[in-house]
Amino acid sequence: MPCCVYGDRIATGSSLRYSIYLRLIVLTAGTLLPFFWMVVILGHRRQRNFERIFFFLCLALVFFFGGSLLALNAQLYYGTIPPSLAIFCWAVVCLGLWFLPSLLVHLHLEYAQIRELIVAGMIKRAG
């Protein structure tokens, strides 16, 4: 089943493989789910540190998945991605990946403090 836009086939001129459909579905879900959690967190009245860190973790995930989805869609539409769009996609993906590890560590430390597995002073010494 070919993927058509206004009666014309997308840049490659042939039907899309199932792996591309799977990548589109996973990247779309990966973009929308953290975005949903960001909206939920913003609607919460009294935010604690855990919710703030989780918000920024979701933002980093939206950057990563959104930039990857943009690159895939540009590749499908153009065939060869324009250089400025490629640079923008890489910048967004790299920005998300840059903040992801540190936010994961901070989120785990904050959760451990909430569960009282570590004392509050240990977080300041570890960070």
- The residue that leads in pLDDT, 30 or 48, is 30
Token readout for 46 is 């009294």
How many residues belong to the chain? 127
Output the average pLDDT for the chain.
Answer: 85
Q: What is the pLDDT of residue 39?
A: 93
As a whole number of angstroms, the distance between CA 72 and CA 90 comes to 12
The pTM of this model reads 0.79
State in Å, rounded, how far the first CA of the chain is from the last one.
53
CA distances from 53 to 17, 99, 121 (A): 38, 11, 18
